[in-house]
Amino acid sequence: MPEDEVRDVRETTCCIVGGGPAGVMLGLLLARRGVPVLVLESHKDFDRDFRGDTIHPSTLEVLDQLGLADRMLETIPHGQIRSLKLTTPTGDLTLADLGRLKTKYPYIAMIPQAQFLEFLVEEARRYSGFDLVMGANVQRLVQEEGAVCGVRYRGPDNGWHEVRAALTVAADGRFSKIRALTGLEPVKTSPPMDVAWFRLPRRPDDPQDRGALATHNGHIAVVLERAEEWQVGYVILKGSFQQLRGGGLELLHRSFAELVPWLADRVGLLTDWKQVSVLSVESSRLTRWHEPGLLLIGDAAHVMSPVGGVGINVAIQDAVETANLLAVPLREGRLQEQDLAAVQARREWPVRIIQGFQERMQKLIVAQALQPGKPFHLPLLLRILLRLPVLRNILARMIAFGVRRVRVEEDSLQ
């Protein structure tokens, strides 16, 4: 058999490339509504390190609609963040108080993404129309008469396999292979930061149910509560990680101890740079999310800044609205490109607003706080406004739900 010869051709209604939160959630929702769906994930399992573990009230409410939220929270150990605080040398300020929100879940659940995905897949497998192939490395689009009609991938056997589908959905993340194959170019912004992530152990007497943004002497750290550890994001100027690394771990230890003194007694547990992973921060979005037979969602369509930790939840909202708008046309075999355009029309303006909010927060807080040798001062007007509960509620709602709540259409609740 020639090396590039296709070993088999499989047909389905919807082929989803990418087994992350958006792809798996979309597969679950479509399968619930009787749409045959195949999810292709390039990794062989979900057992790897994820930084995005924040499950916001918007996602918890969607899972609650599906009857899954409480079971997930009961079975997966997790931390909870009910408030976000800004800590500076001159005192603390509450940025957002999620505990005041009118929702069954007034907090961010810190759930390991690998376990979250495994939970969703287990639920999705209850439906005969759902299938998932791990180790499926999609390399080519299948096109006929100007329309995408499927993909080709290398499987775990290293052979070529083909999937034919009425709709192909790219949910394959910020480095989307499908986006590259289409030639679609996102409009990029360049946030002034990168983030070095690491973890430190939690102790019983540590603060609970909160996240903190600490700034001191030109440095910033984000500290988020997980079930048994603290997830730490050490914010640095874009492109400066090699400079940070050149200073040695001892320099990182001293800087972080000044930022977060109550964790100073354990930052020494960082003994190797392999314990630190770097996220190159980016914010971008496509001007067009679709072509005939193809739709891009989640990070494949719009990369979100880590400000507010909303990326997973925005991607899941994309998946919910995609299922709401496309399940019936897919099931009835009458999908048109205008249906794909409707998904972009529904989701693009909320994404734009959230990205604008993130950019403003970066300019007000991050850009100023990363200026070494200059004391950090939050603008006076913002300090005054943040002491008003009504403004903190607005910020909390934006972080928790985005621009508006997204709900699963009722006829999918089976």
User: Any long-range contacts for 162-165 (C-beta under 8 Å, 24+ apart)?
Assistant: 162/6, 162/8, 162/9, 162/10, 163/9, 163/10, 163/11, 163/12, 163/15, 163/38, 163/40, 164/9, 164/10, 164/11, 164/12, 165/11, 165/12, 165/13, 165/14, 165/15, 165/38
Predicted pLDDT of residue 376: 64
Q: Which of the pair, 414 or 330, is modelled with greater confidence?
A: 330
Q: Do 118 and 19 form a contact (C-beta atoms < 8 A)?
A: no
Examine the pLDDT at 368 and tell me if it is beyond 70. no
Task: Read off the tokens for 243.
Answer: 């400079």
Examine the pLDDT at 373 and tell me if it is beyond 70. no
Residue 295, strand partner residues: 169, 290
Give the 3-state DSSP-derived string for 301-370, with helices as H, strands as E and coil as C. Answer: CEECCCHHHCHHHHHHHHHHHHHHHHHHHHHCCCCCHHHHHHHHHHHHHHHHHHHHHHHHHHHHHHHHHC
Examine the pLDDT at 378 and tell me if it is beyond 70. no
Predicted pLDDT of residue 1: 42
Predicted pLDDT of residue 37: 98
Predicted pLDDT of residue 268: 93
Paired sense of beta strands 79-81 and 83-88, if any: unpaired
pLDDT in tens, 90-105: 777 777 888 889 999 9
Q: Please state which of the ranges 14-18, 253-257, 318-322, 408-412 shows the lowest mean pLDDT.
A: 408-412
List of domains in the chain: 6-78+111-189+282-363 (3.50.50.60), 193-237+239-280 (3.30.70)
pLDDT in tens, 209-222: 777 788 876 778 88
Note the pTM of the prediction, 2 decimals. 0.91
Average pLDDT (15-25) is 97
Render 248-262 in DSSP notation, one character per residue.
Answer: -HHHHHHHHHHH-GG
Residue 243, strand partner residues: none
Predicted pLDDT of residue 412: 46
Average pLDDT (169-177) is 95
Q: Please state which of the ranges 223-227, 364-368, 401-405 shows the lowest mean pLDDT.
A: 364-368
Q: Do 202 and 51 form a contact (C-beta atoms < 8 A)?
A: no
Residue 243 to residues 221, 247, 248, 306, 344, Cα–Cα distance (Å): 17, 7, 9, 22, 40
Q: Give the model's confidence band at 39: pLDDT under 50 very low, under 70 low, under 90 confident, else very high.
A: very high
Q: How far apart are CA 188 and CA 186, in angstroms?
A: 6
Predicted pLDDT of residue 243: 86
Average pLDDT (201-215) is 81
Examine the pLDDT at 190 and tell me if it is beyond 70. no
Q: Give the model's confidence band at 204: pLDDT under 50 very low, under 70 low, under 90 confident, else very high.
A: confident
Residue 346 to residues 39, 57, 236, 342, Cα–Cα distance (Å): 23, 20, 35, 6
Examine the pLDDT at 2 and tell me if it is beyond 60. no
Backbone angles phi, psi at 342, to 5 degrees: -65, -35
CB burial of 319-338 (b: ≥16 within 10 Å; e: otherwise) equals bbbbbbbbbbbbbeeebeee
Examine the pLDDT at 54 and tell me if it is beyond 80. yes
pLDDT in tens, 268-311: 999 999 999 888 888 899 999 999 999 999 999 999 988 888 88
Predicted pLDDT of residue 51: 60
Predicted pLDDT of residue 45: 87
Average pLDDT (21-42) is 97
Predicted pLDDT of residue 152: 97
pLDDT in tens, 248-259: 999 899 889 888
Predicted pLDDT of residue 184: 93
Q: Helix %, strand %, coil % for the chain, to 5?
A: 40, 30, 35
Average pLDDT, the chain: 88
Taking every pair of C-alpha atoms in the chain, what is the biggest distance, in angstroms?
Answer: 71
Q: Cα 112–116–121 angle (5° rounding)?
A: 150
Q: Please state which of the ranges 15-29, 149-163, 251-265, 387-401 shows the lowest mean pLDDT.
A: 387-401
| Report for 16-20, 359-363, 410-414: range of highest mean pLDDT | 16-20
Q: How far apart are CA 331 and CA 34, in angstroms?
A: 7
Examine the pLDDT at 49 and tell me if it is beyond 50. yes
Q: Do 57 and 312 form a contact (C-beta atoms < 8 A)?
A: no
Average pLDDT (320-332) is 97
The length of the chain, given as a count of residues: 414
Rg of the Cα trace of the chain? 22
Q: Please state which of the ranges 256-260, 340-344, 392-396 shows the lowest mean pLDDT.
A: 392-396
Please state at what angle helix 311-331 crosses helix 21-32, rounded to 10 degrees: 30
Q: Give the model's confidence band at 363: pLDDT under 50 very low, under 70 low, under 90 confident, else very high.
A: confident
